[in-house]
Amino acid sequence: MRFTDKSIIVTGAGSGIGRAAALLFASEGGRVVVADKTEGADETAHLITQAGGAAKAIRIDAGLEEDVIRTIALACDSFGGLDVMFANAGISGGMANLFDTDVALITEVLRVNLIGPFLAIKHAAPRIAERGKGAIVLTASVAGIRSGAGSPAYSASKAGVINLAAVSAQQLTGSNVRVNAICPGLTETGMTKPVFDYAREANKMDRVGRLNPLHRGAQPEELAKVALFLASEDASYVNGQAIAVDGGLSSSHPVTRQEYGKTAA
Ligand SMILES: NC(=O)c1ccc[n+]([C@@H]2O[C@H](COP(=O)([O-])OP(=O)(O)OC[C@H]3O[C@@H](n4cnc5c(N)ncnc54)[C@H](O)[C@@H]3O)[C@@H](O)[C@H]2O)c1
């Protein structure tokens, strides 16, 4: 019960990693503002309250400043302040290559994926600092570490999130507010549903995640658990970092690996 009576905001909590995190925060005693642009927010809040937890749903656009301010106000009014902000909402923006990416597309991807976390830090950090200490966790991606896991717009937005975690941690010196990011690899969520659905239908699940040494994709809870660790006092000395949660994908250059237990050809 690492979050007993803590006031917590999770954006993008209507699905996937955000929903898994909201449920886990609540199961550890946290009181959660469940923010999403869809009705998934209400569903997640319902799941929490049904299980005896405390939650408030709010429909927002996480890339709009007034909505971020409204979300933080709801947490402060409902739960007496703010301890944790998990800025997780994001969009893939599709797989358009450099030349098919128009300014409108990259602007929207950056607005949601990068300006959203920026607004979350800007407005949440002062409220968290008022509590004496707390944490902000951002969702970046392996796509932000190097190329190959998303479109140019998506990858650039997530690289920005990784840098934002580092810069913000520095700018919050003396506040006792830590800022870290998780960098998920391929995870089975709403965003990647078509990939997993196709693989199941085509009987090709063994190919999903085959580029990482664990040879599989992740489940949302595996990401959520790392987000909770970073948000908790267990990570009291982890600050300004981007933690890859990708089965080992980003730990190697793209070489042919020798399989465990098999001799080299
Ligand atoms: N699934 C993966 O393989 C993967 C890999 C790397 C990073 N990520 C990142 O993980 C985060 C969570 O995504 P997910 O995989 O759980 O996908 P998901 O689609 O299941 O969940 C994302 C949620 O964010 C919400 N959302 C999108 N734009 C929003 C906005 N402007 N305002 C408020 N809510 C908004 C969606 O409605 C949805 O409920 C995203 O930032 C995504 O980029 C996912």
| pLDDT for the residue numbered 264 | 65
Other Cβ atoms within 10 Å of 102 Cβ, number:
10
**Close Cβ partners of 245 (under 8 Å, ≥ 6 residues apart):** 182, 183, 184, 185, 218, 222, 223, 226
Pairing of strands 134-139, 177-184: parallel
Catalytic status, residue 237? no
- Please name which of 83, 74, 72 lies closest in space to residue 135, comparing C-alpha atoms: 83
Q: List the chain pLDDT tens, one digit each, 265 residues.
A: 999 999 999 999 999 999 999 999 999 999 999 999 999 999 999 999 999 999 999 999 999 999 999 999 999 999 999 999 999 999 999 999 999 999 999 999 999 999 999 999 999 999 999 999 999 999 999 999 999 899 999 999 999 999 999 999 999 999 999 999 999 999 999 999 999 999 999 999 999 999 999 999 999 999 999 999 999 999 999 999 999 999 999 999 877 777 888 876 5
Encoding tokens for residue 192? 């990647």
Ligand 1 centroid from CA 191, angstroms = 6
Encoding tokens for residue 120? 């979350």
Q: Please provide the size of the chain in residues.
A: 265
User: Which residue's CA is the nearest one to ligand 1's atom 23?
Assistant: 12
Instruction: Give the separation between CA 134 and CA 128, rounded to whole angstroms.
Output: 6
Amino acid identity, position 168: S
Handedness of CA 178, 189, 37, 94 (dihedral sign): positive
Other Cβ atoms within 10 Å of 185 Cβ, number:
25
User: Which residue's CA is the nearest one to ligand 1's atom 40?
Assistant: 90
**Which residues are near ligand 1 (CB < 6 Å)?**
11-12, 14-18, 36-38, 40, 60-63, 88-91, 112, 139, 141, 184, 186-187, 189-192
Ligand 1 centroid from CA 164, angstroms = 18
Instruction: Give the separation between CA 112 and CA 101, rounded to whole angstroms.
Output: 16
Ligand 1 centroid from CA 262, angstroms = 38
Q: How far is CA 111 from the centre of its chain?
A: 16
Token look-up 């106000």 returns 73
